[in-house]
Chain A
Amino acid sequence: MSAAPRSVLLLGLDFGSTTSSVLIARATLSTHPGTGRATLADAEPVFQPASVFTPFVDADTLDLDAIDSLIDDWLASAGIASADCFAGGALVTGLAAQRRNADGLRARLHARLGDVVVATADDPRLESWVAFMGACGALSDAQPDATWLNLDIGGGTTNTAVGRGGQVLATGCHFIGARHIQVVPGGWHVTGWTPHAHAIATAIGLDHRPGTTWPAAAVERFVGWQVAALEAIVAGDRGFFADGAGRQIAQVPFEWPAGLSPACARVTFSGGVGELVYAIADGRPLPPTTRFGDLGIELARAIVASPRLSAAVAAHRPARTGGATVLGLALHQTRIAGSTLHLPLAVPLPWPDLPIVARLDADADRAAIAQAVARAGHGTTGGCVQWSVDAAQATRERVQAFAVDLRAVLDARAAVAADPPLLLVLVACDVAKALGGYATGWGSAHRHVAVIDEVAVPRAHFVRIGRAHHGAVPVSFHGLYG
């Protein structure tokens, strides 16, 4: 990679239940002096206009053309083209991801921006992860011995992530948010509700027939149930979500990692409701109740009134509350691969949406390798296999042995499959050229094989390898699980 530091642009787009946001950041791509690795640093937002309401055609359908125009306007205002961006992410989140044409939006984003960003919809764990990184990643880095739990509460979902030392350890997602009940602004005359709100209202005996006007007590009971659910998440009370309405709202159940005590967690908030929580705690003036036609303000007040949820509100503030997701998408979604890679000239970058089909442990034998390679060969565009070997394990003997086995597998498959798709091997330690060299006879065979290293691989279903920029290759993951 070129040694001179270079400025690059990172793009984040978030299309949520209530609002849509964009953030463009400028970062410096440079080479670490000790390791020679490319790193992204000094990231600073340079364009972040106010969020806008996500355009819908009707309650169930996203307005894709309006979203296209929105993206056009944003890029024009920023004075850039999407091709000017190095990397980033575009995410359809929350209830927007539940809409019937959410995948259509994802496809359109991919077609339009897929060369530079990963575009995905309905990826709640990814959403939780990026929100944590955008909101309290820096806090977690700065205080690595503390346990941080971030609740990103928007219109439709609460994305939960817990982490220590800047690393996310567990994620979850529940249908708790501001817009499950829609009302006429200025009052509590109910105009609409989601199936999840229906389940909650039924569970607590609230009349939510069309045209109903709720008294204050009803509102209090509804948001009170939501707050109880949030408290259960924070406390690790899985029984709350075992059945009934609790079970219905758990999109991705949240489990506390073993060894971490919920009692010690510092709770932070992000998302639209999260912004309101800190505004209330600070005594700042709020919009009139139900100004946005939902119960966001009421929910935020109830959160502040909960001692468990608000214990850390005064002492610890996340870097971002509003826009944490889009910040996380722009700044944290992208990792940079190692500086010495084995890349086949036959298959140029970028490689979007490669399925990660297998994880091989450090001492995987030839049979396991053969199985993984076979699975990777099922897709027409290729597949990815992760080899889980760390730096201490990556001795010359082990790397050579793995490469020899891989070469044997590839040779056997070549005898029956003339034009195999791309096979990407992901490794966390710096061995890509050595592994790729031994496995391919230093490029003389198996030109469909690539090895990318020095990227920590999360539990994800897909990996995206972006276009190289001055030798730096961006890598991002989506479809997070576990």
Chain B
Amino acid sequence: MTDLPPLDTIAVPQPRPDVAYTLSRLGRRFAFPSLKALLGAADWSKAGDRVAGLAAPDEATREAARSILASLTLQHLHDHPLTDHAGRVDAVMRVNYQIDREVFAELAPLTLGALKDRLLAASPAEVARAGSGLTGVMAAALAKLCDVHELVLLARRCRRVATARTTIGLRGTLSSRLQPNHPTDSPAGMTALLYTGLSMGSGDALLGMNPAIDTVDNVAALLRRLDEVRRATGVPTQICVLSHVKTQLACLERGAPVEILFQSLAGTERVLTEEFDVTVPLLDHAYATMRTRGALGPEAPNVMYFETGQGSELTYGKHEGIDMTTTEALCYGLARRWRPFMVNNVTGFIGPETHLDNFEMIVANLQDHFMGKLLGLPMGMAPCYTLHAQVTLEGQQIATQLLTAAGANYYMDVYLNTDRMLAYFDTSGHDDQTLREVHDLAPAPAYLEWAKARGIFEDDGSGGVRRGPRWGDPTQFCASAEEWRELRDALPAAWGFDNAGPRPADHVTRTLRANQAVAREAIHADLHVTAPPGVRLRPLRTGASTRAEHLAHPDLGARLHPDSTPVAEPATVQILIADGLSAQAVHHNLPDLLPVLLDGLAAQAIAVGDPFVATFGRVKLAEPLASATGARVVVNLIGERPGGDAQAARSLSAYIALQLAPGAEQRAAATASGHADIRFEYTVVSNIHAAGLPPLEAGAVIVEKLLAILAHGAAGNRLEQHLVGHVA
């Protein structure tokens, strides 16, 4: 049942020294010192690759790289596996070489340019077959040679169907994952989102939520709740809670209904193992377990679900010198080992440091979809954004129209695009249904029959499907109007439930967009802090000189500018005020918070320096400040990344950083964290704003936390363990 070849049986060529690639064109010489450099330069310029120094400096260089790439044979790419920082072929790369050798042998002599030409002229079956003989690197290289039409056209030829309890990816269908995320995993809140999504024809691929609390107890409880709703409504679909694979396996051991097993993947082994705590053998074990003991039983051929996203390797600093598109393709080459039911990217989730604007997000998503489909995956897509990038709802909508034309299997349904837990923006049930109507698509067959029986959809009399009389009516799943009202009241940022055709009613859209506008404005406002009476503020410069730098390079805001390094002083506590991702948060909360904080510390005779103010500052700026001043604790009052709610756009956090004393204290922290070199521990007080934790009260909370940190010489989880048994 699980015929997974052991890693050491996968044939991979020995790594070779870097080869330089050159081209002369119209008197200009273009040189690329390695295959990694060539691959990076051949891609469209994206923020993440620019940060990594891999993007081509200009269009001519990019086209030169593409010309060289197009001239390389697949055999050449095969014989030059990309290596990690230690010069070895890591596990992810090795799995990518798990290819159909017969198919590869046929294609190996072809140049990439010739392969592209062949595929453009080939039948769908030929294109689909070709993918089985390609590694992720080859797929990524091919993607870089394709324009938008070609990415859409070739992907469309690769229909990839998958079956768990039900089947998705069939011709004429567009499915969705109904994502009922709630900031506190409220059963009522998640049920409200489930009912709303089901009433809009969502969830035919999956009822799948990201848990706010990633414990076995909570995840098992969420699985049971999803299962209850699935059974009670009779909806033909499958369920999943997207926690760590180990947590889900533990839930399965306890008898929780684990139907689809999820894991985030990465394109380098270092990120996969060190950041995601996952190995190939672990996933092999997980797959084998699911095939034999998963809730859908051994008859379900596809039971795995993977998410990826361009740029995650870069943000961890473990991309091994490989560009984002190629590492993304390596994820897909890894994922196909376990014949997944669903794979989707989440490109745009990280922010402007990987994808700056609509264009970068759109092309990245088209590439992802093409590469995944070519490599054999039943690709869904999640083109998404955060408010501090120059990516907009319109850009997302353009991406999804193109992706649907390209044949994407599914999208997310996040109600009104606003994920209330993860503070990002994905596709909505309205978007999914609109795309169906534009492209004449329907939900998966079994789900469609269920939905017709409920009046959510109906036959249109000419062989097609249209919205039925109960489309968009979540109360159909409730016993009473009171029940729906109680469920709805558990939802934050639920701007309304009125619809106009497949779209939200205009008043709902206006409210949603107004809230987003306030949130974006908060990010781009300049920081202006007025000192309270008797308080002197000290300006501090960071490594970021402009907002563009600040947003594109998060690490710069965590460093002190060389010309702005404070000197040591006797204060035990330093206060840092930073805009972070919302200067407005500082403006609205600081006037009430700072005086209380200073008064509280003075009452306890704690020596506090005059507060520092840093424009373009990040959370970890606290650390170099602590090191420079010698402070025991730095309180960083910093604007949070706005979500989709206007009030929350003015939300401040207090990151209280304890500089660990060498010796027993540092050793205790190292033991607790698992990081031997840990130097700082953090306690965070978040959600500080008028409608959350009011700033006046927050000041007092911070004082209390500070006093406890100083008393116990611990912060974060270690502090909470000291405080167990004491209320509030």
Chain A complexes with chain B: yes
Name A residues whose Cβ lies closer than 8 Å to a Cβ of B: 1, 3-5, 28, 30-36, 41-42, 138-139, 141-142, 339-341, 343, 345, 349, 391, 394-396, 399, 430-434, 436-438, 441-444, 468, 471, 473
- Which residue of B188, B703, B728 is within 8 Å of A471 (Cβ)? B728
A444, B603: Cβ atoms under 8 Å? yes
Q: Which residue of A lies closest to B720 (CB)?
A: A2
- Which residue of A35, A142, A399 is within 8 Å of B691 (Cβ)? A35
Given that A399-B696, A432-B697, A433-B704 are known contacts, is A349 also in contact with B184, CB under 8 Å in the complex? no
B604, A36: Cβ atoms under 8 Å? no
B567 contacts A by Cβ under 8 Å = no
A138, B482: Cβ atoms under 8 Å? yes
User: Inside 8 A of B691's CB, which chain A residues have their CB?
Assistant: 34-35
User: Inside 8 A of A437's CB, which chain B residues have their CB?
Assistant: 596, 600, 603, 700, 703-704
Interface residues as binary, B679-699 with A (CB distance below 8 Å gives 1, 0 otherwise)? 000000001000111101101
Given that A4-B218, A442-B707 are known contacts, is A433 also in contact with B692, CB under 8 Å in the complex? no
Tell me how many residue pairs across A and B have CB atoms closer than 8 Å.
119
User: Inside 8 A of B599's CB, which chain A residues have their CB?
Assistant: 438
Q: Which of B578-612 contact A (CB under 8 A)?
A: 592, 595-596, 599-600, 603-604
A442, B481: Cβ atoms under 8 Å? no
B185 contacts A by Cβ under 8 Å = yes
User: Inside 8 A of A395's CB, which chain B residues have their CB?
Assistant: 696
Q: Tell me how many residues of B have a C-beta within 8 Å of chain A.
A: 46
Q: Which of B630-654 contact A (CB under 8 A)?
A: 645, 647-648
User: Inside 8 A of A434's CB, which chain B residues have their CB?
Assistant: 596, 696-697, 699-700
B186 contacts A by Cβ under 8 Å = yes
- Closest 7 A/B residue pairs (Cβ): A33-B183, A433-B700, A434-B700, A468-B727, A4-B213, A341-B728, A437-B700
User: Inside 8 A of B187's CB, which chain A residues have their CB?
Assistant: 5, 28, 42
- The minimal Cβ–Cβ distance linking B192 to chain A, given in whole angstroms, is 12
User: Inside 8 A of B182's CB, which chain A residues have their CB?
Assistant: 33
User: Inside 8 A of B218's CB, which chain A residues have their CB?
Assistant: 4-5
A34, B492: Cβ atoms under 8 Å? yes
Bound together, the chains give a CA A247 to CA B377 distance in angstroms of 82
- The minimal Cβ–Cβ distance linking A347 to chain B, given in whole angstroms, is 12
User: Inside 8 A of A3's CB, which chain B residues have their CB?
Assistant: 184, 212-213
B700, A36: Cβ atoms under 8 Å? no
User: Inside 8 A of A432's CB, which chain B residues have their CB?
Assistant: 697
- The minimal Cβ–Cβ distance linking A389 to chain B, given in whole angstroms, is 12
B490, A34: Cβ atoms under 8 Å? no
- Which residue of B213, B420, B693 is within 8 Å of A340 (Cβ)? B693
Q: Which residue of B lies closest to A319 (CB)?
A: B482
Of the A-B pairs whose beta carbons lie under 8 Å apart in the complex, a sample of 22, sorted by A's number, is: A4-B218, A5-B186, A34-B647, A35-B691, A35-B693, A41-B188, A141-B485, A142-B481, A142-B482, A340-B693, A340-B728, A391-B694, A396-B595, A396-B596, A430-B697, A433-B697, A436-B700, A442-B707, A443-B704, A443-B707, A444-B603, A444-B604
Q: Which residue of A lies closest to B592 (CB)?
A: A396
Bound together, the chains give a CA A31 to CA B707 distance in angstroms of 25
Bound together, the chains give a CA A3 to CA B596 distance in angstroms of 26
Q: Which residue of A lies closest to B727 (CB)?
A: A468
User: Inside 8 A of B604's CB, which chain A residues have their CB?
Assistant: 441-442, 444
Bound together, the chains give a CA A3 to CA B720 distance in angstroms of 13
Name B residues whose Cβ lies closer than 8 Å to a Cβ of A: 182-189, 212-213, 215, 217-218, 420, 481-482, 485-486, 490, 492, 592, 595-596, 599-600, 603-604, 645, 647-648, 687, 691-694, 696-697, 699-701, 703-704, 707, 726-728
- Which residue of A36, A399, A431, A442 is within 8 Å of B600 (Cβ)? A442
B596, B700, B704, B727 pick with most chain A CB within 10 angstroms: B727
A4, B186: Cβ atoms under 8 Å? no
Q: Which residue of B lies closest to A440 (CB)?
A: B603
B600, A343: Cβ atoms under 8 Å? no
B701, A340: Cβ atoms under 8 Å? yes
- The minimal Cβ–Cβ distance linking A3 to chain B, given in whole angstroms, is 6
Bound together, the chains give a CA A342 to CA B513 distance in angstroms of 40
User: Inside 8 A of B603's CB, which chain A residues have their CB?
Assistant: 437, 441-442, 444
- The minimal Cβ–Cβ distance linking A374 to chain B, given in whole angstroms, is 26
Bound together, the chains give a CA A345 to CA B727 distance in angstroms of 9
Bound together, the chains give a CA A394 to CA B600 distance in angstroms of 18
Q: Which residue of A lies closest to B605 (CB)?
A: A444
Bound together, the chains give a CA A341 to CA B604 distance in angstroms of 19
User: Inside 8 A of B486's CB, which chain A residues have their CB?
Assistant: 41
Bound together, the chains give a CA A437 to CA B481 distance in angstroms of 45
B728, A343: Cβ atoms under 8 Å? yes
- The minimal Cβ–Cβ distance linking B418 to chain A, given in whole angstroms, is 12
User: Inside 8 A of B704's CB, which chain A residues have their CB?
Assistant: 433, 437, 442-443
- The minimal Cβ–Cβ distance linking A338 to chain B, given in whole angstroms, is 8
- The minimal Cβ–Cβ distance linking B481 to chain A, given in whole angstroms, is 6
Bound together, the chains give a CA A340 to CA B703 distance in angstroms of 12
Q: Which residue of B lies closest to A1 (CB)?
A: B728
Bound together, the chains give a CA A413 to CA B726 distance in angstroms of 28
User: Inside 8 A of B701's CB, which chain A residues have their CB?
Assistant: 340, 433
Q: Which residue of B lies closest to A33 (CB)?
A: B183
User: Inside 8 A of B703's CB, which chain A residues have their CB?
Assistant: 437, 442
Given that A34-B492, A34-B691, A468-B727 are known contacts, is A5 also in contact with B185, CB under 8 Å in the complex? yes
Bound together, the chains give a CA A32 to CA B189 distance in angstroms of 10
- The minimal Cβ–Cβ distance linking A418 to chain B, given in whole angstroms, is 23
- The minimal Cβ–Cβ distance linking B656 to chain A, given in whole angstroms, is 15
Additional A-B contact list (6), CB under 8 Å, known A3-B184, A433-B728: A4-B218, A41-B188, A42-B187, A433-B700, A444-B603, A444-B604
- The minimal Cβ–Cβ distance linking B73 to chain A, given in whole angstroms, is 55
A139, A141, A142 pick with most chain B CB within 10 angstroms: A142
A396, B696: Cβ atoms under 8 Å? yes
- The minimal Cβ–Cβ distance linking B194 to chain A, given in whole angstroms, is 14
User: Inside 8 A of A42's CB, which chain B residues have their CB?
Assistant: 187-188
User: Inside 8 A of A339's CB, which chain B residues have their CB?
Assistant: 728
Bound together, the chains give a CA A32 to CA B645 distance in angstroms of 15
User: Inside 8 A of A142's CB, which chain B residues have their CB?
Assistant: 481-482, 485
- The minimal Cβ–Cβ distance linking A115 to chain B, given in whole angstroms, is 15
Q: Which residue of A lies closest to B687 (CB)?
A: A36
User: Inside 8 A of B645's CB, which chain A residues have their CB?
Assistant: 34
- Which residue of A5, A33, A341, A431 is within 8 Å of B727 (Cβ)? A341
A1, A28, A395 pick with most chain B CB within 10 angstroms: A28
User: Inside 8 A of B726's CB, which chain A residues have their CB?
Assistant: 345
Bound together, the chains give a CA A349 to CA B726 distance in angstroms of 10
Q: Which residue of A lies closest to B645 (CB)?
A: A34
- The minimal Cβ–Cβ distance linking B483 to chain A, given in whole angstroms, is 10
Bound together, the chains give a CA A42 to CA B228 distance in angstroms of 15
- The minimal Cβ–Cβ distance linking B579 to chain A, given in whole angstroms, is 23
Bound together, the chains give a CA A433 to CA B599 distance in angstroms of 13
Bound together, the chains give a CA A434 to CA B697 distance in angstroms of 5
A4, A32, A138 pick with most chain B CB within 10 angstroms: A4
A30, B728: Cβ atoms under 8 Å? no
- The minimal Cβ–Cβ distance linking B716 to chain A, given in whole angstroms, is 15
A394, A438, A442 pick with most chain B CB within 10 angstroms: A442
Q: Which residue of B lies closest to A472 (CB)?
A: B727
- The minimal Cβ–Cβ distance linking A430 to chain B, given in whole angstroms, is 5
User: Inside 8 A of A4's CB, which chain B residues have their CB?
Assistant: 185, 213, 215, 217-218
Bound together, the chains give a CA A420 to CA B183 distance in angstroms of 43
Bound together, the chains give a CA A128 to CA B492 distance in angstroms of 33
Bound together, the chains give a CA A471 to CA B218 distance in angstroms of 18
Given that A41-B186, A142-B485, A341-B728 are known contacts, is A33 also in contact with B420, CB under 8 Å in the complex? yes
- The minimal Cβ–Cβ distance linking B606 to chain A, given in whole angstroms, is 10
User: Inside 8 A of A431's CB, which chain B residues have their CB?
Assistant: 694, 696-697
User: Inside 8 A of A1's CB, which chain B residues have their CB?
Assistant: 728
Bound together, the chains give a CA A345 to CA B213 distance in angstroms of 29
User: Inside 8 A of B185's CB, which chain A residues have their CB?
Assistant: 4-5, 30
Bound together, the chains give a CA A394 to CA B592 distance in angstroms of 11
User: Inside 8 A of A139's CB, which chain B residues have their CB?
Assistant: 482
B728, A430: Cβ atoms under 8 Å? no
- Which residue of B184, B420, B694, B728 is within 8 Å of A5 (Cβ)? B184
